[in-house]
Amino acid sequence: MIVNEITGLIGNTPMLKLKMKNNKWHVFLKLEKFNPGQSMKDRMALNMIEEAERNGELRPDGTIVESSSGNTAIGLAIISAAKGYRFIAIVDHHASIEKIDMIKAYGGEIVIVENDKKDGEIAVVEREATAKKIAKEMPNAFYPNQADNVNNRNAYIDTLAKELIDDLGVVNELYGAIGTGGSVCGTAMGLKKLNKNATINAVEPDGSIIFGGEGKPYFQSGTGNPSDAEIPDIIDYDIIDNNFYATDKEAFNTCRYFAKKYGILIGGSAGGVLFKALEDINKKSSSGNAVVLLCDGGEKYLNNIFNNEWMTRNNLLDMTIEEKIKEWI
């Protein structure tokens, strides 16, 4: 493929097929790490910017200000660089050093919000308030507000969903992480256009409160919703059939296993989705096509998920996770 600018390389990511041991399901991993910013958030970053350009919210030489755990900010930084905008990322202590360095490499500026959160807690409220304030006070600035921006969700309806349909024809089960709800709800909307019986499974960290439950700290980044933050407006509960909670141990040890045994480096929330998908599919007696959306790559988590010292310090190593996966695939 030859394109004229980097945005032309967003989308059309590959899939990897896994074989289950105990049933006839065909499991496909959608590897969104092959987007330019190494995550599916490139799709929504591009769509939010282009829609803002079309409706006049974002003007030439403007500044984009957004709250992010890292991946959305990386996507916005890349597109800002390509289109000539200034970009300011509002992050908290939860963002990995690799993500912050990538944002800076693309010319983005970093504002780290002050907060009293613990290591496993996310300062979403503080981030969003800071981003909104900076954008309001700065001339010619645009705050995408990804959690409530319908163009986040719309980015996946006719792109990611269409890619799955073009490649597989029918998707019977979809598994994806849920945070803002953009990727899983948008992809679900696209799939349901052709197959209203597609089952949509959303996975959030254990400790997130999108589907209720007790809020508590978790280390998975860019997914879920802490108890002190509003539920994003773009989550469509009616389109989601099942929800699952992935613990940090399940998520991170899955990442480590797939890196060593399959040569696939994926991020923490992707590991959580993959574990819960394999666990659920293993229980099914039927057959069909199941797609697991792996939202980003593991290259941004080398200093935590793939670091033995960090995993040990936080009591996250658990070999029983690996043994379970070996029983399934």
Q: Which two tokens stand for residue 118?
A: 């613990």
181: closest CA among 217, 161, 154?
154
CA 213 to chain centre: 21
* pLDDT level of residue 122 (50, 70, 90 thresholds): confident
pTM of the model: 0.96
Average pLDDT over residues 117-130: 89
Q: Say how far apart CA 233 and CA 138 lie, in whole Å.
A: 25
Ranges of CATH 3.40.50.1100 domains, the chain: 6-39+150-328, 41-148
The predicted structure's pLDDT at residue 295: 97
The predicted structure's pLDDT at residue 319: 96
Q: Say how far apart CA 77 and CA 70 lie, in whole Å.
A: 10
> Is the C-alpha dihedral spanning 296, 300, 301, 302 positive or negative?
positive
* Contact in structure between 269 and 294 (CB atoms under 8 Å): no
Give yes or no for residue 274 having a pLDDT over 90.
Answer: yes
* pLDDT level of residue 118 (50, 70, 90 thresholds): confident
Query: 283: buried, middle or exposed (CB in 10 Å: 19+, 13-18, 0-12)?
Result: exposed
pLDDT over 70 percentage in the chain: 100
Q: What is the pLDDT of residues 79-98, one digit of tens each?
A: 999 999 999 999 998 788 99
The predicted structure's pLDDT at residue 89: 97
Give yes or no for residue 1 having a pLDDT over 90.
Answer: no
Looking at the structure, give the CATH architecture of the domain made up of residues 6-39+150-328: 3-Layer(aba) Sandwich (3.40)
b/e string for 293-321 if b means 16 or more Cβ within 10 A? bbbbbbebbeebbbeeebbeeeebebeeb
Class of domain 41-148: alpha beta
Residue by residue, DSSP assigns 91-151 as E-TTS-HHHHHHHHHTT-EEEEPP----TT---HHHHHHHHHHHHHHSTTEE---GGG-HH
Give yes or no for residue 213 having a pLDDT over 90.
Answer: no
The predicted structure's pLDDT at residue 120: 82
Q: What is the pLDDT of residues 275-329, one digit of tens each?
A: 999 999 999 999 999 999 999 999 999 999 999 999 999 999 999 999 999 999 9
The predicted structure's pLDDT at residue 114: 83
